[in-house]
Structure 1
């Protein structure tokens, strides 16, 4: 009797599934390639910020993808990339095993390539420069934030994912690569031949700046929010105070971001109490990070930002500005307010998935908008050796603001 009931139940269930168009394959019947695809689908289904999945029936997307005859791992990767493309989110992407390992290196250690942080323009999909890394071949060639990379060695970049573009620019030290670059300022298009080089990711440059008849200033330039950035900034603050610094200038220009946690921890070095950042997930639930009473100094602080200041740089700048801890000087920031998490796949590949967006302490959503400085100062392109010198107009304006604050503080 029990067996008959089961048979009747199956006879009812199967036609219903056929009517609905859901040819669901049970997990135990999946091939290895289908399992990898299904694993990727589940990660996005569970974690992706937009619960409408860009207006798609995400279950139906899976059912269409799972029916494809996946004969190799490469075909599986192509199917996953096609599935993710429907989200219209360049930051949610598949990372093949080699790409995944390279991305993990980018937050600590060394890189070999031209030294560009890149993103896809959310409006038109063009490959856009976030910033060149200090001292890199791209920096030496004069490539600027928001320039467009139209081709890499003649290959059109619209046909490439972010990671494929990055892979084409990486390579053996001393080998050439030709980038076709469209200037963000003049729309001039030119081919630039760059020689790949080894790029050391040293995140902090610190120096005591002295002026005639003025108090000394601790200048800290933070290049990237890498794993060791918090310790390096903390060391710089303490060392500069011991040298006599009575005020600080924190330079976040052309800092493309990095680790969210590093941005939060560095904010805590400057802020004793108050919110640092809020995170908003797909349910609209606010999480967040607060100061922990661990600030190393309450000395006057000014922060330099520009169009290359992105992501974790904007978290830090927004926290300092909204808490009244610092004034911002320079140009409007890049405007990347989305948070990605990395997820391992069982074959050594990974997924970068947009899981949340962030808001500043005043609940400002800066994604695509950026943060406007308290004092806007434009600047021409400078060589790295000119940063923090008389030729650096933004730096000079920041020093003027900072020293006026210091005088007021001493008078009070």
Structure 2
């Protein structure tokens, strides 16, 4: 009887362990075999759900009319689990998708060059990346992409939508876009290119004012910013403008490196997880010795809001432009053993004054709305009133 009981429990344990390993998540173990814990009681509900999943999988294998690809079924189940969180920033990616995601944050990838999120069920443009086909075609922050090559993308998930938009260099993709204040959807044809990111650009403007544009925070942005700052200093710049407009964010480590150059010792931001554990990220002693302003707009999101929030709260410089996007969540990116991976929201971040900016954004110190680009106009042909105001404010500070 004892042997039979042990055999039954062993079989149950094997099923449970298989289910858990299939999902590639740690060691959820709780029944007891003798004095050994197989699965903890707190995770027993997860085990029951895993058993349900396996039962359905077996039923499909046995009765479904067509051959079923087991790997695709499990990928779909895991994707569904992440989608059910209702968080557009938490997503599971198969091996191909994770590789494409990794390439998109490491300096070079193929596509149209646009950062999107899911908002109210729509694939929504956070910001087109500077000097990419998406920007040149006229995509704007807030545009809702409703079709890609005629296929509806509303409600299919960000990963599927972005996969449809990507493709080989030289091929074309047609986006159907809903834009605020437009009664009819726009149909925009874009030719895909190899997207090579140079995230930092610098120059000297009139009156010895330095200008550094950061288009996003990739793996080398901190290093590139320090190099640009050193170059600006060699020209004896008396003031500095840092342009974070249409900057959708990126690596938090890189925005911290930028903020550390701008701020003296103190808090840059802090994070809080589901258990209310807080982690404070601080800047070190020493900062630039010239006045600066930061340009922001509705396309300034995530990591760029960390920099903006710290500058504003600590009164280190002026924020000029319009209210930022409002993404105050932190994701962990994990690669799994089979090449797949996932992003999962694990923390919320707060500005030094404890302000939660998620879905709210950061108000600038001085609001200046950009002039609207009319039909047929190129962005470079429209007067940049926000930059003009930044120059004006810097001139006041250096006189």
**TM-score range relative to shorter protein:** 0.7 to 0.9
2:71 to 70, 73, 76: 73
Following TM superposition, by how much is the alpha carbon of 1:298 offset from its aligned partner in structure 2, in angstroms? 2.4
CA deviations over 1:256-281 (Å, ceiling 9, x no partner): 00001111111001112110010011
Residue 158 of structure 1 aligns to a residue in which SS? coil
Change (3 A) 1:9 1:137: closer
For 1:131 and 1:384, locate their aligned partners in 2 and report how far apart those are by CA, in whole Å.
Answer: 17
1:101 to 92, 99, 102: 99
Q: TM-score, normalised by structure 1?
A: 0.84
Change (3 A) 1:106 1:209: same
Match of 1:21 in 2: none
CA deviations over 1:184-221 (Å, ceiling 9, x no partner): 3435411111111122100011000114xxxx110000
Q: In the TM superposition, what are the counterparts of 1:171-210 in structure 2 within 5 Å?
A: 171-210=167-206
2:338 to 338, 347, 350: 347
Residue 313 of structure 1 aligns to a residue in which SS? helix
Q: TM-score, normalised by structure 2?
A: 0.86
Does structure 1 retain, via aligned residues, the 8 Å contact 2:16–2:50? no
**Bigger mean CA deviation after superposition, 372-381 or 141-150:** 372-381
Does structure 1 retain, via aligned residues, the 8 Å contact 2:325–2:360? yes
Change (3 A) 1:9 1:103: closer
Change (3 A) 1:378 1:343: same
Root-mean-square deviation (CA, aligned residues, Å) is 2.5
Match of 1:38 in 2: 23
Unaligned runs of 5+ in 2: 29-44, 59-68
Residue 23 of structure 2 aligns to a residue in which SS? helix
Change (3 A) 1:27 1:368: farther
Residue 342 of structure 2 aligns to a residue in which SS? strand
Does structure 2 retain, via aligned residues, the 8 Å contact 1:308–1:334? yes
Match of 1:46 in 2: none
Residue 68 of structure 1 aligns to a residue in which SS? helix
2:142 to 136, 143, 146: 146
Does structure 1 retain, via aligned residues, the 8 Å contact 2:79–2:93? no
Residue 380 of structure 1 aligns to a residue in which SS? coil
Match of 2:393 in 1: 401
Following TM superposition, by how much is the alpha carbon of 1:282 offset from its aligned partner in structure 2, in angstroms? 0.9
For 2:86 and 2:227, locate their aligned partners in 1 and report how far apart those are by CA, in whole Å.
Answer: 42
CA deviations over 1:144-166 (Å, ceiling 9, x no partner): 00110000001111242212111
Does structure 1 retain, via aligned residues, the 8 Å contact 2:214–2:243? yes
Following TM superposition, by how much is the alpha carbon of 1:332 offset from its aligned partner in structure 2, in angstroms? 0.6
Match of 1:54 in 2: none
Greater relative CO (CA pairs within 8 A, separation 6+): 1
For 2:22 and 2:90, locate their aligned partners in 1 and report how far apart those are by CA, in whole Å.
Answer: 15
Does structure 2 retain, via aligned residues, the 8 Å contact 1:38–1:66? no
Match of 1:51 in 2: none
Match of 2:42 in 1: none
Does structure 2 retain, via aligned residues, the 8 Å contact 1:61–1:83? no
Does structure 2 retain, via aligned residues, the 8 Å contact 1:37–1:66? no
Match of 1:18 in 2: none
Match of 1:161 in 2: 157
Unaligned runs of 5+ in 1: 15-23, 44-56, 408-412
For 2:349 and 2:383, locate their aligned partners in 1 and report how far apart those are by CA, in whole Å.
Answer: 35
Residue 268 of structure 1 aligns to a residue in which SS? helix
